[in-house]
Every structure is written in C-alpha cells, then in structure tokens.
Chains A and B, each alone.
Chain A
Amino acid sequence: MSTLRPPSLLDRSPFLKATIGSRGNLVLSIAVVIVAALLVPPLVRWLLIDATFLGTAETCKTASGACWAFVGEKLKFIVLGFYPQEEASRAYAASALLIGLLALSAVPRFWGRWLVGGWVAGVGGVIWLLGGGGPLSPIPTEKWGGLPVTLLLSLGSFILAFPLAIVLALARRSKLGGIRLYAVVLIETVRGVPFIAILYTATLLFPLMLPAGAAIDKFARAAVALSIFVSAYLAEIIRAGLQAVPRGQSEAAASLGLTHWQTLRLVVLPQALKQVIAPIVNLAIGIFQDTTLVAIIGMFDLLNAARAAATDPMWIGFYAEAYVFAAAVYFIFCFTAARYSLWLERHLSVP
C-alpha cells in the first residue's frame, strides 16, 4: 500500500522537478551552474563592471574591461561608413525609410498590391536619398557605407529577385522541357556555388565582358550578384509553395473561364506565396547576414565599417568591442525577424 503524503516542493514546482528531481538531472544542473559560474562573471566584468564608457583611448588602455567609449566615439562611422558627415541626415532618413517599410510589411493586414508599389518607390527613394540628384548633392556609391548599405543591399536585392524568382519557379514547373531545363540549370548552378564565387564573377569578370568604355558601378554589380543569388533560393521556396496549392484550385479557375495567366495571377500565386511567407522571412534573415560578404570586394557595410573603425590609428585594436557592437545590431534585426516568422507561421496556419 502506498502511503499518502503531502505534496512536496518538488511536486508543486515543475521547474524544480525537472532540474533537481532525479539524480541525472541534478548532476546536469550542477554542471550547467558550474559552467555558468565560470563564464558569466568574467563576461559581465568585461562588458560592464571594468568597462570604460567615457574617455579616450588612453583611459581605455589602462582599464581591463571593454572600451565602449570607442564605440561611442566611432558610432557615426560604424553606422554610416565613409558617407560624408555633413550629409548624415540623408543616410539616417534612408535607413529609417527602409526600416519603416519593413515594419509596415510585417502587418498582414497591409499585404497587397500597394505595398509592392511602396517597396519599389521606397527603394528608389532610398537610392535617391543616398546618391543625390536634383536638390541633393551627388554622392558616389564608393562613399556609401554602414547600415544603409546593408539594408539597401539585402532588401533591394530581394525586390529585384522576386519577379525573377517567380519566373524561375514557374519555368521549373513548366510543361515545356526546354524551359524547364533552362530553369533547372540556372537554379542548380547558382545554388551549387558559394556566394563569393558569384560576387567575384560580377566584380572581376563582368567588367571584362562589357564593350570597351562601358562600366557598371561596383555597388550595382554587387546588388545584381546578390539578386541572382537570392532569386535561385527564392525560386525553390516559391516552387514548394506552388506544389502545395491543390490541383483543384487551377481546375476550378479554368472551369470558371479564366485564362492560364489569369489563373496563375489571381488564384494560384496568391495562395502559393501565402504558404511560404515564413520560409521567405527565414531566407531574408540569411541574405541579411550574407550581405556582409561584400566586405571581401572592399565595400563598407555595417560589419566592415565596424572592423575598419578599429583600424583607426587613434583607436587601434578595439576589435572585440567593434565585433560585439556589430553582432548586437545584427542579432536585434535577425532575432526579431526570426520571432516574427514563428508568430506568422502560427498566425497564418489554418486551425
């Protein structure tokens, strides 16, 4: 006979039961606590307690912690790169415009035709804000840098890639063998090689392939390379969405008298795209991180600007601080997007 006993502390707290309820879990918990005790205090000391928040490079060198004074001093450079200081407000406005559009697009109620138009106009506006023209003084793309470049490259290439990806996805499912083969070769080649190889093709090879005298801006070449790269991956995602739309949908549309293209545009594609929004957000997170590779061809995106800030002779060698700051910025963007993608998956799933 089992004896009745009052509920112990372990029975009332699931957390305690899972952490110290059995001998194995107790050992694991103690191991985790020991590891945390070894790692967390030095980290906190470096990040906060011993850190220098105000001061010069000299005061930083005497302190043993992080030098946040460096980040404060170089903040403008990290965020804007070599963009002219007196025109900084334009770069801030451009970043704000892109982040605002992102925030708008996150609300499912706003999804629609005008949002697409808004993005096209917004990217055009950002290029105008950064590059100048009309009342704004012109600034060459070599001077662009920092967060606006990261945002513009990743979002702009997505906008450019979207129509191409839809065409590729449809072509890969086409009944026409020649078109299908064309799409397969294109998609698999791009997916089979690293992004750096495509970037080099665009920067080293493409200028050689233009007629003598013609030249394309380096920024544009990087954007085109990124768009081609994105479109191959995006096409595969959209193809998965197309496959998930039941055949009955297009048959029903056809029986209503819609033409092939009307069926695609009004019935199949909207359903297909809605199914794959969460994977598209995940791809966007990956692309946002992959834009850092433009540092290899000498452009100054956020990461490269942060790295370059630590090569300033006045503040040389504060790489750790620069990387921690850049990592925090990337983390905030990507973590928010990842959480949003999870929320969206729940929100859109049919109960």
Chain B
Amino acid sequence: MVDGVINASVESGEPGRTRPGIPAFVRMWLGGWPLAQIALYLGTLLLFLWLGRNLLANMARLGLTPGFEFLEHTANYEIGESFIAYAAGDSYARAALVGLLNTMAVSALGCLVATVLGVGLGIARLSPNPLVSRLVQAYVELLRNTPLLLQLFAWNTVIHLLPVPKHALSPVPGILLTNRGLFLPAIDAGGRGLFVLAAMAAMLIATRLVLRRRRRFAGPAPSRVVLSAYAIALLLPVAIATGFGISFAPDIPTLKGFNIRGGASMTPEFAALMLGLAVNASASIAETVRAGILAIPTGQWEAARSLGLRPLAVMRLVILPQALRIIIPVMTSSYLSLTKNSSLAVAIGFPDLVSILNTTANVTGQALEVIALMLGAYLTLSLTTSAIMNAYNRSHVLRSERR
C-alpha cells in the first residue's frame, strides 16, 4: 500500500513506524494515475519546446541572438528620473536597475501614505457622527468604482494644472506645489543622509529588541527609561556624524529665478503615480480596517469603557491590537496589489521597471529575455513581501493565539 510506511525496521530492532523512503514519499505525493500526471508534464514540456523552437527560428530570422548578453550593450535612451547616476550610453542592465529602484521607491512610499490615510479613514468611517462616516463612505465608493488608470490620468492632469514655480501653491509654509513637481522641506547632510538614516533605523530596531528582552526578564521599563533609550538611539548617529564633520542644515525649498531650488522634490509623474496609487489603496485599506474593527465583539468595547478608559485609549489599547490580527493578512494583499499596480506608471510616463523594460524590448527586440526579467522581478517582489508579512504575522498576530 502507498501509505504503508511500516517498512519493517526489523533489522534495526526498533519498534514503530519509520519515515518513508524517497520512492514511497513520491508515490504518496503523486497519488493515483502517475502515468497521466507524467504525460501532463511531458505535454507541457513539448508545448514549450515547440514554442521555443518557433521563437528561436523567428529570432534568427530577425537577426537576434537569444540570451542576456544584450544587457551589457549601451542603451541610447534617457530616463526622466533616477536614484542612481544614469545617462544615455550606460548599459541596459543599469537602465533596468534604475527602473527597479523607481518601482520600489514609488511602491514603498505609496504603501506608507496609503496605510496612514487608510487607517485614519477606516476609523473615521466608524465614527458615530453620520457627517464624517458618510463623507468617508462617499470617498471609498468613488475610488472603488472607477478604474485606477482613470484615477492616475486624473492625478496627472491635476498636477500638470498646478501653477508654474513662480506662482507656486503653498498650503503649508515650506511645502510648494507646482507643475514642475512637489517640493518638501528636507535636511541637507552633504549627500551622506542615507547612511545616517540607515544608522538611525538600525539603532531604533536594536533599542526595541533590547527593550523587549528586558521587558521579558525584568518587566516593563519605566517610561522615562524607554523615552531616553529611544532619544539616545536617534541622537547618537547624528552626534557621531557631526563628529566626523557632516553638517546638518535645514533645506527649505525656495524660488530662485524661474525654478525652485532645495528641499526634497518629487517629479510631477512620481507624485501623480504615488498619490494615485496611495489614495486608491487607502480606500480598500479603510474598508479592511473598518471590517477588522467591526469584527471585535462589542463586549470588548464595553469592558474597556467600564474600566474607565477614554475612547482613544480603548481604541489604542484594546480594539486595535485585536483587530490587527484580522487586518494584517488582508493589508498584505493591498500592499502587493499596490506594488503590482505601480506598473501602470507606463501610462503616465513615469520610468518604472515595466516602462523601461518595455522600451528596452522595443529597442532591442529581445522580447523573451525582457519579459522573463519583468516576470521574475515582480514574482520576487511579491514573494518577498508575502514572506516578510507572513513572518510578521507569525510573530505578532498568531502569538496571542498560541498562548
């Protein structure tokens, strides 16, 4: 029998079942009809061989050599914006890397903005005040019932309708909105800001881990200890950097001539894509948060209130921690779809991965390799995100269920 993994351990003299051998394991996994299953795989293989043979013949006819060598050739197109140095004449591989970084930047920032907006709106949607909850409902319905591409077109149009830099819109001092992009105040660290930021992030994580260990062995630390630990974690890298001669200066965008200098800037395309994606995702995140909070039994609210907690404390200490258990898995899929939707950049002219790879395919004709890169990159991004979120889920969400 297939499940008869009792292959007698008579010789070893040990009683009981042993692990199945590899052939038995394969038999168990395959179940019945092994020949039909092998035929399915063989058929698929043959189909791909046939398609591949046609592809090779067609590529030979067009004078293309299959393979990824073309990535080393020089790309003769410019790219609108890039986080690493790039100019026409660099390799296709570098151009693809520029696109990948752009995709990651716009998705990461979009996820952040979408979360902040979505959680706020989701809580507002539950407000007992009908004016507030109806307003949020209208927002959600409008965004969910129109295509994302249309929303991106609309954002793009709106941002290009903003005034020229000379008459920049400034809703808050320091923030300038123009048709050349959005400008925010920043801190100038002489090009080494990223290192300092990374050091700060590492210190914050380390502090958090140390505090958690301490809490496990010695109970919760007094809040002044926690606060000063975090303050030190934030200030130490700055102090060390100052010691190494990096100066920190506030960098406020200002109008110089016909253009705006200084500050952190977003190009109009980046801003349109990021805002479009974030606002669109915020609608579904708001619904997720609302559903998660509604799933908490009313007894929890009543119990927390009867203990004398204020409404905000009830939300922060009792409801949200439990709702997160429901919210996080759904939120993961919102993040993933935002990342995949960032490929719509190609429609509004932002140079993301898909847009740059598409240009590469049109210029070189190496469609197979380019599409393999595209699929591989998105699959890696998707699978990594779900792996990270699953790990978080295991450590934060299921922990309370294990108890």
Contacts and interface: CB of A to CB of B under 8 A. Distances in A.
Contacts of A28: 127, 129, 131-132
A271 interface: no
Interface in B357-374: 358, 361, 367-368, 370-371, 374
A92 B379 CA distance: 41
A197 B352 CA distance: 13
Contacts of A112: none
Given A194-B340, A194-B378, A208-B59, A303 B54 contact: no
A25 B153 contact: no
Contacts of A36: 135
Contacts of A292: 147-150
B58 A212 contact: yes
Nearest to B130: A18
A296 B347 CA distance: 6
B147 A33 contact: no
Secondary structure of the B contact surface, majority rule: helix
Interface string A198-222: 0011001100111110000000000
Nearest to A310: B157
Nearest to B149: A292
Interface string B111-146: 000000000000000011111100100000110111
Contact of B146 (A19, A295, A330): A330
B76 interface: no
A178 interface: yes
Mostly helix, strand, loop or mixed at chain A's interface? helix
B184 to A, nearest CB: 23
A120 B338 CA distance: 34
B40 A182 contact: yes
B149 A334 contact: no
Contact of A194 (B29, B354, B358): B354
Interface string A274-318: 000000000001000110110110000001000100000000000
A192 B38 CA distance: 26
B145 A193 contact: no
Given A196-B343, A323-B157, A335 B131 contact: no
B58 A178 contact: no
B128 A323 contact: no
Nearest to A176: B31
Interface string B152-180: 01100100000000000000000000000
A177 B371 contact: no
A23 B205 CA distance: 40
Contacts of A330: 145-147, 150
Interface string B1-45: 000000000000000000000000000011111100110110010
Contact of B382 (A193, A204, A210, A289): A193
A331 B142 contact: yes
A193 B375 contact: yes
B318 interface: no
A46 interface: no
Contacts of A182: 40-41, 44
Nearest to B33: A176
Given A178-B41, A208-B59, A209-B51, A289 B379 contact: no
A29 B154 CA distance: 29
Contacts of A96: none
27 contacts: A18-B129, A19-B130, A28-B127, A178-B38, A178-B40, A179-B40, A191-B382, A192-B378, A194-B341, A196-B346, A197-B343, A197-B371, A197-B375, A200-B361, A200-B371, A205-B368, A211-B54, A212-B58, A296-B346, A296-B347, A303-B147, A303-B149, A319-B153, A323-B154, A323-B157, A330-B146, A331-B146
